[in-house]
Amino acid sequence: MVLFKKSEDLSKWIETQRRLTPSEQFFSMGFVPTMGALHQGHISLIEASKAENDLTVCSIFVNPTQFNDTKDFEKYPATIETDIEKLEAAGCDVLFLPAVSEIYPQGTQLLKHYNLGFLETVLDGKFRPGHFQGVCQVVERLLQIVKPTQLYLGQKDYQQCMVISKLIDLMGWGNKMKINICPTLREADGLAMSSRNMRLNKDDRIKAVAIYQCLNHLKENIKPGNLQYLKEKAFKKLEQNGFKPDYINIADAYSLEEIVNWDGHQKPVALIAAFLNEVRLIDNMLLG
For ligand PAF, which is the closer residue by CB, 211 or 218? 211
Active-site option among 42, 113, 131, 265: 42
Least distance (Å) between residue 288 CB and ligand PAF: 26
For ligand PAF, which is the closer residue by CB, 34 or 150? 34
Q: Is 156 exposed, middle or buried (0-12, 13-18, 19+ CB in 10 A)?
A: buried
Site for ligand PAF in 123-142 (CB under 6 A): 135, 138-139
For ligand PAF, which is the closer residue by CB, 159 or 241? 159
Cα–Cα distance for residue pair 127/1, rounded to 1 Å: 38
7 binds ligand PAF (CB under 6 A): no
For ligand PAF, which is the closer residue by CB, 135 or 227? 135
The answer for residues whose C-beta is within 8 angstroms of residue 179's C-beta and 6 or more apart is 150, 151, 153, 161, 164, 165, 168
Question: Contact with ligand PAF (CB under 6 A): which of 93, 157, 204, 283?
Answer: 157
Question: Contact with ligand PAF (CB under 6 A): which of 49, 53, 66, 184?
Answer: 66
Task: Choose the binding region for ligand PAF from 28-36, 172-180, 216-224, 279-287 (rule: CB under 6 A).
Answer: 28-36
Quote the crossing angle between the two packed helices 210-221 and 228-240, to the nearest 10°.
160
151 binds ligand PAF (CB under 6 A): no
97 binds ligand PAF (CB under 6 A): no
Nearest residue to ligand PAF by CB is: 33
63 binds ligand PAF (CB under 6 A): yes
Active site residue 39: no
34 binds ligand PAF (CB under 6 A): yes
Question: Contact with ligand PAF (CB under 6 A): which of 10, 14, 29, 35?
Answer: 35
Q: Which residues bind ligand PAF (CB under 6 A)?
A: 33-35, 63, 66, 135, 138-139, 157, 160
The catalytic residue positions are 42
